[in-house]
Chains A and B, each alone.
Chain A
Amino acid sequence: MAFIEIEGLSKSFHGSAGTRHVLRHVSLTIERGEFVSIVGAMGSGKSTLLNLLAGLTEPDTGTVTVGGTVTRGVRNDAAMVFQNYSLLPWFTALENVRLAVEAACPQLSQEDQRVRATWTLERVGLGNALHKRPRQLSGGMRQRVAIARAFATMPDVLFLDEPFGALDALTRETLQQELARLCRDDDRQVTTVMITNSVEEAILLSDRIVPMIPGPPATLGTPIPVELSRPRSLAQLAHDEQATLARAHVVAALTAAPGRKRSNGMLHSDAASAVLRPVAEETR
C-alpha cells in the first residue's frame, strides 16, 4: 500500500453564478519519501486539490489516506508552504517559526523550542535575520522563513503551494536548490507534494510529475517519472536527454486534453501556453 492514497476526490463550489465543478474523481498514489509535482495552468484547480490533500478543505466525495489512515482535517505530521509566504507580520522571523515548533512540539521546553527554531532558520541562511519582521525582509527571505517554519516541525508530509511563484527568477533558482537540499539532507524521508505552473521547476525537483488536465472539472493525467540523478541544475536540465523527454511528455499531456470545450477553454489554453513558453524557447 502506498504512503498516500488519493481515491476519487471531487470538489465543487457553489456561488451566485451557479455550481462550479473544479475536481471530479481524482485519484493518485504517492510513495513514502517521494517528491511529486502536480503541474497545471493557473486556475486549473491545482490549489483546490492541494488544499484537499493538506486537509484545509473537505472533499465532496473521496478520501485521502496517509500511512493507512483516512485523514480528516490537517494531519499533525504535515507542513505546508504557501505561495504568498503567509507569515504573521506582527511576529519576527524567529517568533513565526517558534509558533510552529510550539504548536507541534509542546513537550519541548521553551528553551529547546527556541533552539530548534533558531537552528532551522540558520539552516536556510537566516541566522542574522532572526529578529527581523517579515516586512523588513525581501520576498526570497520571507519564503525562506516560511520554508523554515515548515521544516522546523520535522514533518513526514510536506505540501508546497507554488512556493516560488511570487519570486524573481534569480531568487527562485537559489531557493529551488535549497529546497532540494533540505529535502535530501533530512535523514528522515519527507514525502512532498508540490503544485506549480512551471514544467522546469517540476523536472528540477520531482521524482514524478502529474499533469493536471484543465476542465472544469479538472482531472489528473498519467504520472510521468523523472529519472535523473541528483543534485540537478537548471543548466544541466536544458541539455539532458531524459529531461527533454520528460518535458515533452508533460507538455504533450497538458496541451492534448484542452479544446474539448471551447467556451471555457479560452482562459485555460492561454494560461497553458504561458506555462509552456519557456519550454518552447529552449527546445527550438
Chain B
Amino acid sequence: MTKRIINIVLPFFGVALAILAWWAASRAVGDLPSPARTWEESKLYILEPLAKRGEMDQGIVLLALYSLLRVARGFLLGILIATPIGFLLGVSSTLTRMFDPIMQVLRPISPLAWLPLGLVIFQKSEPAALFAIAVCSMWPTVINTMMGVRAIPQDYWNVAKVLRLSRFTTFTKIIVPATLPYMFTGYRLSLGIAWLVIVASEMLTGTPGVGGFLWQEYNSLVYAHILLAIITIGVVGFALDRLMGMAEARLRTV
C-alpha cells in the first residue's frame, strides 16, 4: 500500500526537482525566464487554449491542433508509401539487395535537409512540409514491415503451400495478419519521427503551429513562450506515443 503511494508520488517529486533545476538555471542565465515568469507570460495561451487573436497569436491547443493536422497528413502520406515498400522488400530478397544501399543512405538525412528540396520541387511551404515529414518518417515503417514479413514462420508458408492459396489470399489471410504487430511498431516509431520533423519544418517555413509559434516568439524576444512551446511539443509527443502504444497492445492480443 505504502509502496503504491510512493510510486504515485515519485514522478511528481521528479517534476518538482526538474522545475527546481530550471529555476536555478534561470538565476544563472539572465535571459532564461524562471518557471514562475514563464507561467505568468504564458497563462493567456493556456487558459484560453482555443482563442484566435492573430495568425500566430493563438491558444496553445489551437496551435498544437494545426501541427497535429499537418503531422497526420504527412504521416499518412509516409506510411501509405512505406507499407507497400516494406511488404515488397520483405517478400523479395532481390529487391532488398537492390534498394538496401539507397535506404541506408536516405535514412539518416535530417528533415532540415529535405525541406529546401521540397520547397524547390513544390514551390509552396505546405506541400514541402508534408514531403519532408513523409520522407523522414517512412523508414521505420519500411524496415519494420520488411522485418515482419521476414519473421513469418516457415509453418505459415507451408500452410499456404499445402492449401494452395492464391498469391492474393496468401497476402490477405497470412502475410498481412502475421505482419500487423511489426507494422504497428513501425507506425508508432514513424509517428514519433513525424512529430520531430513538424517543428523543424514549421520553423523553416513559418507556418502557424507550435513550431512556427516557437520561432516567431524567439524572433520577438518573448523567451517564456519558447519554453511554453517546448513543453507543449513534449507533452503532445508523449501523448501520441502512448496512444499508438495502446493501439499496438490491442493488436498484439489478437
Question: Quick one: which of B162, B165, B166, B173 contacts A54, CB cutoff 8 A?
Answer: B162
B219 at the interface (CB under 8 A from A): no
Most buried by A among B158, B162, B178: B162
Most buried by B among A84, A91, A103: A103
Contact between A74 and B161, CB atoms less than 8 A apart: yes
A207 to B19, CA, bound (A): 81
A100 at the interface (CB under 8 A from B): yes
A190 to chain B, nearest CB (A): 15
Known contacts A99-B173, A103-B169, A86 near B155 by CB under 8 Å: yes
Q: CB-nearest residue of chain A relative to B180?
A: A90
Q: Which residues of B contact A80 (CB under 8 A)?
A: 158, 162
Contact between B161 and A56, CB atoms less than 8 A apart: yes
Contact between A104 and B158, CB atoms less than 8 A apart: no
The 0/1 profile, CB within 8 Å of B marked 1, for residues 153-169 of chain A is 10000000000000000
Question: Quick one: which of A56, A88, A104 contacts B174, CB cutoff 8 A?
Answer: A88
The 0/1 profile, CB within 8 Å of B marked 1, for residues 73-86 of chain A is 11010111010101
B159 at the interface (CB under 8 A from A): yes
Q: CB-nearest residue of chain B relative to A100?
A: B163
Known contacts A88-B174, A88-B177, A99-B173, A79 near B155 by CB under 8 Å: no
Contact between A74 and B165, CB atoms less than 8 A apart: no
Question: Quick one: which of A78, A86, A103 contacts B156, CB cutoff 8 A?
Answer: A86
Q: CB-nearest residue of chain B relative to A73?
A: B161
Q: Which residues of A contact B169 (CB under 8 A)?
A: 99, 102-103
A56 to B162, CA, bound (A): 7
Contact between A103 and B155, CB atoms less than 8 A apart: no
Most buried by A among B164, B166, B173: B164
B254 at the interface (CB under 8 A from A): yes
Question: Quick one: which of B155, B164, B165, B173 contacts A82, CB cutoff 8 A?
Answer: B155
A155 to chain B, nearest CB (A): 10
Known contacts A88-B173, A90-B177, A99 near B156 by CB under 8 Å: no
List B234-254 residues whose CB lies under 8 Å from chain A. Answer: 254
Majority-rule SS of B interface residues: helix
Contact between A79 and B173, CB atoms less than 8 A apart: no
The count of chain B contact residues (Cβ–Cβ below 8 Å) is 16
A87 to chain B, nearest CB (A): 8
Question: Quick one: which of B155, B166, B254 contacts A84, CB cutoff 8 A?
Answer: B155
A104 to B163, CA, bound (A): 7
List B1-38 residues whose CB lies under 8 Å from chain A. Answer: none
List A71-128 residues whose CB lies under 8 Å from chain B. Answer: 73-74, 76, 78-80, 82, 84, 86, 88, 90-91, 99-100, 102-104
Q: CB-nearest residue of chain A relative to B170?
A: A103
A55 to B164, CA, bound (A): 11
A15 to B214, CA, bound (A): 58
Known contacts A76-B164, A99-B163, A82 near B177 by CB under 8 Å: no
Q: Which residues of A contact B164 (CB under 8 A)?
A: 74, 76, 103-104
Known contacts A86-B155, A90-B177, A99 near B165 by CB under 8 Å: yes
List B47-100 residues whose CB lies under 8 Å from chain A. Answer: none
A88 to B152, CA, bound (A): 11
What 3 pairs across the A-B complex have the smallest Cβ distances?
A: A90-B177, A86-B155, A80-B162
Q: Which B residues contact A (CB, under 8 angstroms)?
A: 155-156, 158-159, 161-166, 169, 173-174, 177-178, 254
Query: Could you list 14 examples of A-B contacts with CB < 8 Å?
Result: A55-B161, A74-B161, A74-B164, A78-B162, A82-B158, A88-B159, A88-B173, A88-B174, A90-B254, A99-B165, A99-B173, A100-B163, A103-B165, A104-B164
New contact pairs (18) apart from A79-B162, A90-B177, A153-B163, CB-CB < 8 Å: A54-B162, A55-B161, A73-B161, A74-B162, A74-B164, A76-B164, A80-B158, A82-B155, A86-B156, A88-B156, A88-B173, A90-B178, A91-B173, A99-B169, A103-B164, A103-B165, A103-B166, A103-B169
